[in-house]
Chains A and B, each alone.
Chain A
Amino acid sequence: MSVLNIRASVEELNRVSAFVDEQLEAHDCPFKAQMQIDVAVEEVFVNIASYAYAPGDGEASISVEFPEPGGEGPDRPCVLIRFEDAGVPFDPLAKTDPDVTLSAEERAVGGLGIFMVKKNMDEVHYVYEDGKNILTLCKYL
C-alpha cells in the first residue's frame, strides 16, 4: 500500500493525481478505468480541499492499495483508494443525486461531482471514525 500525506488544497491536485496514476500504471490499469478513477479522485480531493477545513487549512491522506482477491475486500481484482481528513464530519454519499434528465436551462451548474464518483466507481464507502472522515473508493480491475 502506498500513502500520500498532503496539504488539503486544490493547488495540490496535480500531485494527488500523479501519485494515484503512478500506482495505477505500475499495475497495468486499463486506460478507461484509469480515467474514471482520475475523475473520482479529483472530485473527492477537491471536495476535501474546498470544504473539510474551510476557512482554515489541514491535511489529507490518500492511500492506494491493490488487495489480494479473497481477503477482506471484494473477491475480485480491484484497487482501493482511501481518503482521510480530520475536518468537519461530512458524508458525501448522503446527498441526493442530481436529476440528470433535466435540460440545460433546468440544470444547476454544479452538484455533479459526487454523482460522478458513484457512477464511475464500483463501490464507495464512507465512515466517520476517530475524528476522521474516511471515504473509500473501490474500482474492479
Chain B
Amino acid sequence: MLNITKNANGEELQINLEGRLDTMTAPQLEGELKTDLGGVSTLIIDIEKLAYISSAGLRVLLSAQKIMNKQGSMIIRKPSEEVQEIFDVTGFSDILTIE
C-alpha cells in the first residue's frame, strides 16, 4: 500500500510517500507525476515514511528525475537506512539529489 500526499506552492511541489513503492503501487505514483509536473520547477519527494522500494519504484523516480532535469530540480528527502542502501547498491545515490 502507498499513500501519496501533495503540497503545491507556486512552482514548488512536495510529495510525501508513505508505505511501499513496489510493482503494485509504482503505477499510482507514475500516474500522479504524469499529471502534476507541468509548470513545476522544484520537486521534493519526502520518503521518510517509505518503508520499501523495489526496482519498479526506482524506475518511477528515474523517470521523474529525467523530467525534472529538463525543467528544474528534484530532491529526495529523508530516506530510511534501508532505502538509502538500495539507492547505494543501484548507483541511484549518484543520480538523485538526496537530503
Task: Give the B-binding residues of A (Cβ under 8 A).
Answer: 10, 13-14, 31-32, 35, 38-39, 42-43, 46, 100-105, 107, 109-110, 112-113, 115-116, 119-120
Contact A107 B23 (CB under 8 A): no
Q: Does B8 sit within 8 A of A, measured CB to CB?
A: no
Q: Which of B11-19, B32-40, B41-49, B56-64 sits within the interface?
A: B56-64
Interface size class of B (residues with CB under 8 A): 20 to 34
Contacts of A32 in B (CB 8 A): 81-82, 85
Contact B95 A107 (CB under 8 A): yes
> Secondary structure at chain A's binding surface: helix, strand, loop or mixed?
helix
Contacts of A100 in B (CB 8 A): 89-91
Contact A115 B82 (CB under 8 A): no
New A-B contacts (15) at CB < 8 Å, excluding given A42-B56, A104-B62, A107-B62: A13-B22, A38-B52, A39-B55, A42-B22, A100-B91, A104-B65, A104-B69, A104-B95, A109-B63, A110-B59, A112-B55, A112-B90, A115-B90, A116-B89, A116-B90
| Max chain B C-beta neighbours (<10 A), residue from A10, A100, A119 | A100
Q: List 23 A-B pairs, Cβ < 8 Å.
A: A10-B23, A10-B24, A13-B22, A14-B24, A31-B82, A32-B82, A32-B85, A35-B52, A38-B52, A39-B52, A42-B22, A42-B23, A42-B56, A46-B23, A100-B89, A100-B91, A104-B66, A105-B66, A105-B69, A109-B62, A116-B54, A119-B90, A120-B89
